Structure 1
């Protein structure tokens, strides 16, 4: 097993948070008594450490689907009147498809709405293990269909959709932008923002061994997420779960991508590898690599300044590309 990374190697603005996590016992999501407890702990952590909740003119919850397939989306809109050419931002929360909700990422979505003055639609997709793959992915596609079907009434342009998400949500933001089975007729994704995304559930890079303890997200956390979300081991190679495996040399370019990778994150190496893959295929890529930061910047952006700064960078990219 690798040695615990010294706290002095953590970026100054995240160092206190990681030190406090270690002092409290270093227990991560997979160490909770149950999935329900892990979810509750994550909700409390996001509430305590997240950004202040910006005032947004319109916030509306909408239920989609029926019966066991019912889920909720939340619409944020900071402008009373819209131009029919305005892009739409679709936000997918992180949490390994097992934890997280529209509440854990509500401050992030509010900030996106205030930074861009664009409508933000956040997907509170169904979670595993109650709803295993591909439930979350189908909910996300259904949300884009809803955007298309309601675009005229809401004065949105479904041909200018920006996808954005963190961690597992970053993987969702990616596959909703290019995976043929998830593309929605009558819509076009014009920008994708992948914030330390989960992109390969089949293969483990050396970062898994290096980030094995001492951080809220470790290699075991990612394995636990897979066990609780995937219906079978074969799902690990599904292009919707592992887009890293789906993208081949010579593929057509994807929509312009902003990718954030972190050096103290078990996902960091695969994110760098994926950025290289996309760029080599002709995709416009803006890559930001923070070598001394760990996973979870955006749900702790109230305490970690880099999270707020990177969210501003992401918003700027959407305004430029979408």
Structure 2
């Protein structure tokens, strides 16, 4: 049974309980923290709000070359060995400033188990130490390396599935567009952006409605934007502004109570207008970042299972 907020918005009981706890905790604004403090806080929240990682037979660190140095990767697989096939290339969220391989380990093990595919997570450089375009540079370089490195990975990858949450959803789209414009050794066969930022418009209704009290707030978003220092209108920062004619099949996810919900919605509309095969999933009554909150908000685990089922349908039926 869902509750109603004072503004008439539907909110799930477990989401409301988590937000009530969070809003009463008196956490200092993101803008008052150093990047190191914010990263540690995100890691701590992940350790208590997220489910435990699954025990997989393969969890192994890799290194890909990048223009600015080595890029750390982590391979997850539910099988010791497997025949040639596609792999998920996962980009973590965190506003391009926080998050790493550790914060998303549990979710990556869940993806690998649910999809029965190898998952390769990318530890791209973070702002403000490495502002735009460091993150998309690293993510694109990593994806291209994954497509050509069967010996290092121990698997022959025949297709790429860029996937990520929040900032990582943005990066998944950017990598898909880059590989579409200049093909890699293997194609992108499906992209899976979860509650992505796709544009720099300040006037979305969801931003006005949910920018306070729903975890991701206006202060945090402004701080992330200042740190990332993206070029306004640049499609490598805001992929809505790129061409969508050659976009592969897409599973696009938004959250109903997310201030950047409408950024995902307008991107989905552009894909539909371009004739892309899109499965659009908007989960009502929940918040931005829900895939990292499956212990604190148990209903979101079912949302993730729905996402995985949609991915499997695309892979099985095209």
Q: CA deviation at 1:129?
A: 0.4
Q: Secondary structure at the match of 1:97?
A: coil
Give the aligned partner of residue 89 of structure 2: 90
Cα distance change on mapping 1:33 and 1:26 into 2, 3 Å: closer
Q: CA deviation at 1:71?
A: 2.8
Q: Check if 1:54 corresponds to 2:54.
A: yes
Cα distance change on mapping 1:133 and 1:111 into 2, 3 Å: same
**Runs (4+) off by over 6 Å:** none
Partners in 1 of 2:197 and 2:67 — Cα distance? 29
Pairing of 1:1-322 with structure 2 (within 5 A): 9-25=10-26, 27-30=28-31, 32-65=32-65, 69-84=69-84, 86-151=85-150, 154=153, 156-179=155-178, 183-230=182-229, 235-247=231-243, 251-322=244-315
Q: CA deviation at 1:61?
A: 1.1
Partners in 1 of 2:211 and 2:169 — Cα distance? 22
Checking the alignment, whether the CA contact within 8 Å between 1:97 and 1:229 is kept in structure 2 is yes
TM-score after normalising by structure 2: 0.90
Cα distance per residue 1:117-170 (max 9 Å; x no partner): 211000011100001111111111111122122136656454421111110000
Moved more, 281-290 or 60-69: 60-69
Q: Secondary structure at the match of 1:310?
A: helix
Partners in 1 of 2:245 and 2:180 — Cα distance? 16
Cα distance change on mapping 1:57 and 1:183 into 2, 3 Å: farther
Q: Secondary structure at the match of 1:312?
A: helix
Q: CA deviation at 1:189?
A: 0.7
Checking the alignment, whether the CA contact within 8 Å between 1:26 and 1:214 is kept in structure 2 is no
Partners in 1 of 2:77 and 2:239 — Cα distance? 31
**Where does structure 2 lack aligned partners over 5 or more consecutive residues?**
none
Partners in 2 of 1:134 and 1:60 — Cα distance? 27
**Number of residue pairs matched?**
311
Q: CA deviation at 1:5?
A: 5.6
TM-score after normalising by structure 1: 0.89
Partners in 1 of 2:156 and 2:200 — Cα distance? 34
Checking the alignment, whether the CA contact within 8 Å between 1:27 and 1:216 is kept in structure 2 is no
Q: CA deviation at 1:51?
A: 1.5
Moved more, 60-69 or 164-173: 60-69
Checking the alignment, whether the CA contact within 8 Å between 1:244 and 1:274 is kept in structure 2 is yes
Cα distance per residue 1:209-235 (max 9 Å; x no partner): 22231122023322211100125xxx1
RMSD: 2.3
